[in-house]
Homo-oligomer: A and B are copies of this chain.
Amino acid sequence: MSNSGLAGGVVTVDSMGRALAAARAAAGRGEVPVGALVLDAGGRILAIRGNEVEARCDAAAHAELLAMREAAGRLGDARLTGCTVVVTLEPCPMCAAAMVHFRVRRVVFGAYDPKGGGVEHGPRIFEQPRCLHRPEVVGGVRAGESAVLLRGFFGGLRGR
């Protein structure tokens, strides 16, 4: 457990910096470079994870879903009430819908994802009329750094 850099309820760049570091580490393992962490209501980090789709042969092993599952396990509660998820890329519909199930209080994300995103794009999960829980959303935090990582990764793949 370490302090995340929360001050007065505002998630500082430090949290996103840690998520970006997890994204870089994921790229180093051949994974799509996305990183995520979960902060509890007091700003302590409960879990930090990067994508592990390849390593686990698990298409659902997205960074933010892994981090939420780990954080909930640590709390011994299937709900992450009061918690914040910080993730370097706009969550996909699967991860956004998982945030509803986990009752996440707030989502802070980096780069917007017009093709695969599910928060500000596509099905806009939190805006669905039947959505049972709507986390607060802050998008675009250090988006440029996340986008550079993703472009570098997919550019490298195309070059292979």
- Counting chain A residues whose Cβ lies within 8 A of the other chain, the interface size class is 35 or more
Least distance between A31 CB and chain B CB atoms (Å): 11
B60 near A101: Cβ-Cβ < 8 Å: yes
Q: Which of A72, A80, A97 has the most chain B CB within a 10 Å cutoff?
A: A97
Q: Which positions 92-132 of chain A face chain B at CB distance < 8 Å?
A: 92-94, 97-98, 100-103, 115-116, 118, 121-123, 125, 128, 130, 132
A73 near B56: Cβ-Cβ < 8 Å: yes
B130 near A115: Cβ-Cβ < 8 Å: yes
Least distance between A126 CB and chain B CB atoms (Å): 11
Beta-carbon nearest neighbor of A115 in chain B:
B130
Q: Among B58, B122, B132, which residue has its beta carbon within 8 angstroms of that of A73?
A: B58
